[in-house]
Amino acid sequence: MEDEWEPPVPAGYNDANRAFLQGFMARGTLTFPQGQKLVAAILAAANGEPVDPESISQDAFANFVRTAREAVEPLDYDIRSSRDQLRNGERVWAFINAHSDPPTQMATTHTAEEVAYIKRLMDLMFDEYNTVRMEVMAVDEGQALKASRPKKGRESQHPNDQDEEDQPSTTTSDRGLKHSEVLSLLSSLVAEGWLEKSRAGFYSLSPRSLIEMWSWLVATYNDDSESAKDWQRIKFCESCKEIVTHGQRCSEMDCTVRLHDICQDRYWRTRRGEKKCPKCETEWTGDHFVGERAITARKGYQRGRGRAIGNGSGSRNGGRSDLEETVAAQQEAADEDEDMEEA
């Protein structure tokens, strides 16, 4: 048969690669240690003798990832990696859908009401609680519950939305979620790896979400009609150029330079230790934050009388010391994985 169509697969692609792909897809994301375990299990199954996960090199893992990526790219899936802004900047690989907006992606297992809620939650994180003065990009439980029902009669909170959002029809038909349903949904989004819940009780987007959603976030929340130097809702790290939802900001409130905690050591080293904002030359104090620390690092919050921005619903005490530890640990290990940049 002359028109025997052969699907495109990478050279040498075999069952071990297919098993890797199936294992990856079931897990959604892989860190290097998880990847070592997966590859070791595949090699063990193939050879019939145990393989020590520690013996799997970065190269071996990277090979599996590269091959899997080559195999799925023609189908509009992708495997991308990013460093976790928390957890010492550990690199995370995610299997993602290159062509869909993530709410639809999540929609496959969630109801229409839940998907509408997720959209409202995104609006809270990246619009309402992400202002020039307070770039929190996270919500606590109280704030998350406040969005359980669609807002009535209020005009759209984000002027630069694409047309499909905020149609009146959805607001009238969507009756929202009960508080108990919101709590269950949040918990399952954490278990599915879309959201992170911090010790201080804030929900933020996980590395997996950021990898999959960044272009959607930029398209939805940034306004490309404004000139690039204006403040935009989604901003990128001066050093690694990835999204910052947890990091530091220039102490000049109108300046748009942001930096990950995990990137700062390396960055200042390239600047010969001169800790000044590369743009406005203000001294970089490192105590102005993006992320939940925009709230938790405030004096009022530390005294236990903290008020969340806006509605004052987010008071949580404690947490600060944990966060400080986290930050310290991140700074130490900030540039450990320079050799793992490549997927």
Partner 1 sequence: MMPPTQRQRRQAVESDEDEDVHQRPDSPADDGNSDVDHMHGVERDETSQLIKKLVRYALACEYSRTPIRRDGIKERVLGIHGREFKKVYAGAQKQLRASFGMEMVELPTKDRNLLTVEQKRKATKSQSQKEPTSNSYMLVSVLPEYLRVPDIIAPSKVQSPDGEAAYIGIYTMLIAIITLSGGELSDPRLRRYLTRLNAAENMPSSNPNNENAPSEKTELVLQRMIKQGYLVRVADNKNAGDDDAITWHVGPRGKMEVDNEAIAAVVREIYGGGQQNEDLERKLQASLKVKERKPPRSAAANRAPATVQEDEEDSEEDEEPEPGRSTRRGRHG
- Which range of residues in 12-20, 79-87, 199-207, 279-287 is near partner 1 by CB under 8 A? 12-20
Least distance in angstroms from the C-beta of 209 to partner 1: 13
Q: What is the dihedral of CA 287, 293, 295, 297, to 10 degrees?
A: -50
Pick from 36, 42, 301, 343 the residue near partner 1 by CB under 8 A. 42
Least distance in angstroms from the C-beta of 123 to partner 1: 24
Token look-up 């918990």 returns 187
Pick from 35, 38, 119, 291 the residue near partner 1 by CB under 8 A. 38
Residues 319-338 contacting partner 1, CB under 8 A: none
Least distance in angstroms from the C-beta of 142 to partner 1: 15
What backbone phi and psi angles, to 5 degrees, belong to 268? -65, -30
- Which range of residues in 3-11, 216-224, 263-271, 328-336 is near partner 1 by CB under 8 A? 3-11
Could you give the CA distance from residue 290 to residue 244 in angstroms, rounded to a whole number? Answer: 7
Residues 44-63 contacting partner 1, CB under 8 A: 44-50
Could you give the CA distance from residue 199 to residue 112 in angstroms, rounded to a whole number? Answer: 30
What is the secondary structure of 89-124 as a DSSP string?
A: G-EEEEEEESSS-HHHHHHTTS-HHHHHHHHHHHHI
Could you give the CA distance from residue 126 to residue 245 in angstroms, rounded to a whole number? Answer: 9
Q: Check residue 21 for interaction with partner 1 (CB under 8 A).
A: yes
Q: Check residue 41 for interaction with partner 1 (CB under 8 A).
A: yes
Choose between 22 and 282: whose C-beta lies nearer to partner 1: 22
Q: Check residue 23 for interaction with partner 1 (CB under 8 A).
A: yes
Total residues binding partner 1 (CB under 8 A): 48
**Residue 42, exposed/middle/buried by CB under 10 A (0-12, 13-18, 19+)?**
buried
- Which range of residues in 18-26, 57-65, 244-252, 297-305 is near partner 1 by CB under 8 A? 18-26
Q: Check residue 22 for interaction with partner 1 (CB under 8 A).
A: yes
Q: Check residue 180 for interaction with partner 1 (CB under 8 A).
A: yes
Pick from 90, 161, 174, 192 the residue near partner 1 by CB under 8 A. 192
Could you give the CA distance from residue 118 to residue 45 in angstroms, rounded to a whole number? Answer: 40
Could you give the CA distance from residue 273 to residue 67 in angstroms, rounded to a whole number? Answer: 40
Q: Check residue 188 for interaction with partner 1 (CB under 8 A).
A: yes
Is there a contact between 276 and 117 (Cβ–Cβ < 8 Å)?
no
- Which range of residues in 129-137, 186-194, 215-223, 319-327 is near partner 1 by CB under 8 A? 186-194
Could you give the CA distance from residue 79 to residue 263 in angstroms, rounded to a whole number? Answer: 23
**Residue 87, exposed/middle/buried by CB under 10 A (0-12, 13-18, 19+)?**
middle
Could you give the CA distance from residue 197 to residue 323 in angstroms, rounded to a whole number? Answer: 13
Least distance in angstroms from the C-beta of 186 to partner 1: 9
Residues 66-125 contacting partner 1, CB under 8 A: 71-72, 74-77, 108-109
Could you give the CA distance from residue 280 to residue 283 in angstroms, rounded to a whole number? Answer: 9
Q: Check residue 153 for interaction with partner 1 (CB under 8 A).
A: no
Question: Apex CA 202: angle with CA 242 and CA 204, to 5°?
Answer: 30
Q: Check residue 13 for interaction with partner 1 (CB under 8 A).
A: yes
Could you give the CA distance from residue 144 to residue 140 in angstroms, rounded to a whole number? Answer: 6
Pick from 60, 115, 134, 183 the residue near partner 1 by CB under 8 A. 183
- Which range of residues in 5-13, 156-164, 236-244, 245-253 is near partner 1 by CB under 8 A? 5-13
Token look-up 């700062």 returns 264
Look at residue 195 and give its three-state secondary structure.
strand
Pick from 157, 167, 187, 317 the residue near partner 1 by CB under 8 A. 187
Shortest CA distance to 207 belongs to which of 89, 58, 310?
A: 89
**What residues line the site for partner 1 (CB under 8 A)?**
1, 3-7, 9, 12-16, 18-19, 21-23, 25-28, 37-38, 41-42, 44-50, 71-72, 74-77, 108-109, 180, 183-184, 187-188, 191-193
